[in-house]
Structure 1
Amino acid sequence: MTAPRKQRREIVLLRPVPGRTVIHELWAGSKLLIVAGIGVLLTFYPGWVPIAAVALLIVMAAKLARIPRGVLPTIPRWLWVLLVLGGVTAAFAGGDPVMGVGSVELGLGGLLNFLRITALSIVLLGLGGMVSWTTNVAEIAPAVAMLGRPLRPLRIPVNDWAVTLALALRAFPMLIDEFRVLYAARSLRPPEVDRDGRARWRRWAAELIDLLAAAITVALRRADEMGDAITARGGAGQISAAPSRPQRRDWGAFAVVIAVCGVALALELTVLGTSGMRS
């Protein structure tokens, strides 16, 4: 008797984890500004110390927000294979530092760069996940409208952009659920046996066209329902008209992030940079 196959955890995006923690109650604009600032920092200084500091901030925020491990998706095996293959390929590039194994010298520069880029990607994904798991989608549009207020004298349609962003974020989870239902319904159909390869390719093309037509129909139906709901609630202008501004706890969050990132940047530019030049 074969053991039951372990069910994979799907990706949970744009759906906040229930709770009323200090991270959940932060202003959505503060979270967007923090993510933007950290993104700029890691763009210009993608060193190990800034990456470790941002990872520490993410872990601390996850603890404060009581984010369960169940929100993390199951990593497929093929991704691990690609990571190992990429690490082995990058190791052939060599470079400093060099490690001696007997009479053979191995350059670890390429492998360390690959690991650093991988860690940077994981940290950036963690930042996006924290915003997604602790922020209600309805709070994004007012925050974007508030942040874009200085651009209004330039006649830039900030409110329209905020409404468009909010509707896109609202529609994304719904469309994912609809596509999963379509895929599950397609999987329930009995498989057809084709004797030649040409008939198999024709059947696959016909099924792809059917799935695309069904997906477009579902998207249009969802858009019509969302339009009716927005009209019943007073129009699209109400989406970005909610009062939204930072509170005292937001300034505390800014202070903590600036302090941690500042210390990490100082270490990267002074102590570690000097030791790296000496080596």
Structure 2
Amino acid sequence: MTAAAAPRKPRRQVVVLRPVPGDTVIHRLWAGSKLLIVAGIGVLLTFYPGWVPIGAVALLVVVTARMARIPRGVLPTIPAWLWFLLLLGAVTAAFAGGDPVIGVGSVEVGLGGLLNFLRITALATVLLGLGAMVSWTTNVAEVAPAVARLGRPLRPLRIPVDDWAVTLALALRAFPMLIDEFSVLYAARRLRPREVDGNRRTKLRRWAAEVIDLLAAAITVSLRRADEMGDAITARGGAGQISAAPSGPRRRDWVAFSVVILVCGAALALELTVLGTSGIRR
């Protein structure tokens, strides 16, 4: 008698725009401070995407995740096809060669292309981690007042900062709801009985009809959600109340700014002086 097959472990979905419950110092930071820190780090890594800045930012992300008590369960399951694409990209980049060059027996192998690919992959991972930390530790309702406060210097130019903040807040609120609705639609589609396979032309027609049905259902669900959200906003005093909540930096925000500037400044100094000089000498 053969043993029963082990149940397949369910894949963890991506958790976006939904804060992880908690009352840590990271959760209590002003949303505008988090946005400014992410923007500043993004500018730093854009102009100086070296290993030292990437490592320093990765260290900041890990320490922040520990301070915010982010559980491992929020991390999504990486599908096998993504690992395959990363492996394929690494192998392809390795053929580019370049410095540094190592000798394997009588053959010289250049690791420059592979190291560049690994650096770009690490950079993308760090940036995704920054965005995820903001998503996991920030309430969506705090984003609109923060954006309105940060855009206050643009108001004399007659730029509709408040309208932009409200639009951003509504988009952030609607995105998770639409993901849930689309997941339900997809699950309902999978429960439908499969029709008998025909020729290729019949399959294409059936596939096109199913895509049209799903798009129509998705548009209907989006319109229904938008109508419900509009009624809720009207009942609470209108769209202007979304960005009218008082918000601003506090003492802990300035401490966070100081720590980030200190770490990023030290990493940039090492990248431009010590490590940069040693790289030129080699």
TM value normalised by structure 1: 1.00
Query: Per-residue deviation at 1:2?
Result: 1.1
Instruction: Tell me the residue number matched to 1:274.
Output: 277
Whichever residue aligns with residue 54 of structure 2, its letter is I
Instruction: Tell me the residue number matched to 1:181.
Output: 184
Partner residue of 1:145 out of 125, 143, 148? 148
Q: Give the root-mean-square deviation of aligned CA atoms.
A: 0.4
Whichever residue aligns with residue 142 of structure 1, its letter is P
Q: Does 1:67 align with 2:35?
A: no
SS of equivalent to 2:33: helix
Instruction: Tell me the residue number matched to 2:134.
Output: 131
Deviations along 1:183-225, whole A, 9 cap, x unmatched?
0000100111122111111000000000000000000000000
Partner residue of 1:222 out of 222, 225, 230? 225
Aligned mates of 1:124, 1:151 — CA distance in 2: 27
Instruction: Tell me the residue number matched to 1:231.
Output: 234
Aligned residues: 279
Query: Per-residue deviation at 1:84?
Result: 0.5
Instruction: Tell me the residue number matched to 2:27.
Output: 24
Where do 4+ consecutive residues of structure 1 move more than 6 Å? Answer: none
Instruction: Tell me the residue number matched to 2:91.
Output: 88
Query: Per-residue deviation at 1:123?
Result: 0.1
Q: Does 1:99 align with 2:102?
A: yes
Whichever residue aligns with residue 264 of structure 1, its letter is A
Aligned mates of 2:187, 2:110 — CA distance in 1: 49
Aligned mates of 1:264, 1:250 — CA distance in 2: 21
Q: Does 1:47 align with 2:50?
A: yes
Q: Does 1:160 align with 2:163?
A: yes
Q: Does 1:7 align with 2:10?
A: yes
Structure 1 stretches lacking a partner, 5+ long? none
Partner residue of 2:251 out of 248, 251, 271? 248
Aligned mates of 1:185, 1:121 — CA distance in 2: 34
Aligned mates of 1:4, 1:27 — CA distance in 2: 44
Aligned mates of 1:106, 1:184 — CA distance in 2: 49
Partner residue of 1:264 out of 263, 267, 281? 267
Aligned mates of 1:167, 1:30 — CA distance in 2: 20
Partner residue of 1:201 out of 199, 204, 217? 204
Aligned mates of 1:138, 1:11 — CA distance in 2: 21
Aligned mates of 1:233, 1:251 — CA distance in 2: 33
SS of equivalent to 1:8: coil
Aligned mates of 2:5, 2:203 — CA distance in 1: 32
Aligned mates of 1:250, 1:107 — CA distance in 2: 45
Structure 2 stretches lacking a partner, 5+ long? none
Whichever residue aligns with residue 166 of structure 1, its letter is A
Query: Per-residue deviation at 1:255?
Result: 0.2
TM value normalised by structure 2: 0.99
Q: Does 1:35 align with 2:41?
A: no
Query: Per-residue deviation at 1:35?
Result: 0.1
Identity within the alignment, %: 84
SS of equivalent to 1:99: strand
